[in-house]
């Protein structure tokens, strides 16, 4: 029978054999966000289109070419979020988070949508991890956000990423740069694409971000923004670099970085890889001090970044970084006969009430097939309950790795205690020989296992 429909072009299914990789990376992101004092924010997948027109900028490729916009039955014009910052900023304003004092530190893990040509590292539905800071004007905040992004790459052991840094000035000094850019690009008006021609008067900096090959070649020789930034912006940029130097964070000043969204001011940065093809920017961000005012709030210095999860996983795959697989089944119990199956079901549930995992047959397999399945799911222990086991109230539990068998009570009150003791001993033996723990002392090992035991009682 033919499928009714396939997945939409530019989207991808994350299947069970791969979802653990996403969960691992996301857990690292959450852990590092917490280390830097950030708390999670979740916003709707769609917003009023005006939000993105005002924040992202109506001269950007995102707004002009890439947004998924639709009219609702109530005649509202809505857009699927193309990025995470605008929605987070709107939520911060709408719910008055500023009343709790600054800085506000928020992170998100979210899906975004842009109508682009799908290719390796670029999808129409993609996922971002982002960190946002509101109410911090100091260059220390810029350096902290950059270090936070880098800490994630370090935790994941990602290699070969280089940090590129630039300052694109502020509202005070940028008009002079716009004037210089306009004068430069005027000489090449006949060679610019139609989109860049429309940007020439309104926002010539957007031409620097054009993907057209001829426009890019012209833009490569344009005046650089660092020649025009004011003394305050220079001082701020120097402060960011000094902080990064102090933290031993390597970077390269790249005056061509402008980022693709209009809300950026002063510091902009990208973590770039050459190992995943043309879509090499894994993380990008910077400062956007005028965004909150643009959305109707008071002046609030702000900054943050977005990190592409698909691109990060692609990079990790290319570098053959091993992502640990999730915990396997701790105990598989096979039941033979109706009464034994009921008993197995009850014991399995008692295991699941703890932090351990247990499985049993739910598809009607025979005993041999059940044992094959227990081996397939890498169960640590297995046990068979039949009529004899019910009569004696005892069963043999098998260590699937060593083959050792141990008698264990299947009495409701004794079973879990005996199994847990066996499980702890097995875990202790594994930890003692683990290269991860190195030369851990027996005293430290006992302390760890006591902590584990107390948390599972």
- In the chain, what are the domains? 16-173+229-318 (3.30.930.10), 331-455 (3.40.50.800)
The bridge status of strand 358-360 relative to strand 331-335 is parallel
Q: What is the pLDDT of residue 65?
A: 76
* Interatomic CA distance for residues 141 and 224, integer angstroms: 25
Average pLDDT over residues 36-49: 97
Q: What is the pLDDT of residue 453?
A: 47
Q: What is the pLDDT of residue 258?
A: 79
pLDDT band at 456 (very low <50, low <70, confident <90, very high): very low
432 or 254, which is more confident: 254
* Interatomic CA distance for residues 350 and 344, integer angstroms: 10
pLDDT band at 449 (very low <50, low <70, confident <90, very high): very low
Average pLDDT over residues 35-52: 96
Q: Please calculate the CA angle 87-296-170 and round it to the nearest 5 degrees.
A: 90
Q: Please calculate the CA angle 284-290-293 and round it to the nearest 5 degrees.
A: 130
Give the chain's mean pLDDT. Answer: 88
What are 120-159's pLDDT values in tens digits?
Answer: 778 999 999 999 999 999 999 999 999 999 999 999 999 9
* Interatomic CA distance for residues 388 and 365, integer angstroms: 20
Q: What is the pLDDT of residue 309?
A: 96
* Interatomic CA distance for residues 214 and 280, integer angstroms: 21
**Which parts of 68-203 fold into alpha helices (H)?**
85-94, 139-155, 174-186, 194-202
Strand partners, 165: 253, 269
Range with the poorest average pLDDT among 210-219, 229-238, 405-414: 210-219
Burial of 300: CB neighbours in 10 Å, binned 0-12, 13-18, 19+: buried
185 or 429, which is more confident: 185
What are 215-259's pLDDT values in tens digits?
Answer: 889 988 899 899 999 999 999 999 999 999 999 999 999 988 877
Q: Is the pLDDT of residue 447 over 50?
A: no
Q: Are 325 and 20 in contact (CB under 8 A)?
A: yes
Cα–Cα distances in angstroms (integers) from residue 213 to residues 191, 230, 365, 403, in the given order: 11, 31, 61, 64
Element (H, E) at 109: strand 104-113
């Amino acid at each position: 029978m033919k499928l009714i429909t396939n997945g939409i072009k530019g989207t991808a299914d994350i299947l069970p054999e791969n979802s653990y990789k996403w969960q691992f990376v996301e857990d690292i992101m959450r852990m590092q966000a917490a280390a830097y004092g950030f708390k999670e924010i979740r916003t709707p997948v769609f917003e009023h289109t005006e939000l993105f027109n005002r924040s992202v900028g109506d001269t950007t490729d995102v707004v002009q070419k890439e947004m998924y916009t639709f009219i609702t039955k109530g005649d509202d014009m809505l857009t699927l979020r193309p990025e995470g910052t605008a929605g987070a900023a709107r939520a911060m304003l709408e719910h008055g988070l500023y009343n709790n004092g600054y800085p506000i530190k928020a992170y998100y893990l979210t899906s975004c949508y842009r109508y682009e040509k799908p290719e390796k590292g670029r999808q129409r539905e993609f996922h971002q991890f982002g960190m946002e800071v509101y109410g911090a004007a100091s260059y220390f905040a810029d350096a902290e956000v950059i270090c936070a992004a880098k800490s994630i790459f370090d935790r994941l052991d990602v290699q070969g990423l280089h940090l590129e840094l630039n300052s694109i000035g502020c509202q005070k000094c940028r008009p002079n740069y716009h004037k210089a850019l306009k004068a430069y690009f005027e000489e090449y008006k006949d060679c610019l694409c139609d989109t860049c021609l429309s940007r020439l008067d309104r926002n010539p900096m957007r031409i620097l971000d054009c993907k057209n090959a001829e426009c890019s070649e012209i833009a490569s020789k344009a005046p650089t923004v660092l020649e025009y930034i004011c003394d305050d912006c220079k001082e701020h940029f120097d402060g960011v670099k000094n902080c990064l130097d102090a933290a031993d964070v390597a970077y390269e000043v790249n005056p061509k970085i402008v980022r693709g969204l209009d809300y950026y001011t002063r510091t902009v940065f990208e973590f770039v890889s050459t190992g995943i093809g043309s879509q090499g920017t894994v993380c990008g961000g910077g400062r956007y001090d005028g965004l909150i005012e643009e959305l109707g709030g008071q002046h609030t210095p702000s900054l943050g970044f977005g990190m592409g999860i698909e691109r990060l996983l692609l990079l990790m795959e290319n570098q053959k970084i091993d992502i640990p697989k999730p915990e396997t089944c701790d105990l598989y119990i096979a039941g033979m006969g109706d009464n034994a199956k009921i008993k197995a079901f009850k014991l399995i549930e008692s295991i699941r009430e703890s932090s351990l995992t247990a499985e049993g047959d739910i598809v009607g397999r025979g005993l041999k097939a059940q044992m094959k399945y227990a081996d397939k799911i890498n169960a640590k222990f297995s046990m068979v309950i039949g009529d004899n086991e019910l009569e004696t109230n005892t069963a043999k539990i098998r260590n699937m790795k060593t083959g050792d068998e141990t008698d264990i009570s299947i009495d409701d009150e004794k079973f879990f205690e005996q199994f847990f003791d066996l499980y702890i001993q097995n875990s202790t033996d594994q930890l003692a020989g683990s290269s991860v723990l190195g030369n851990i002392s027996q005293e430290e090992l006992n302390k760890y296992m006591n902590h584990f035991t107390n948390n599972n009682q």
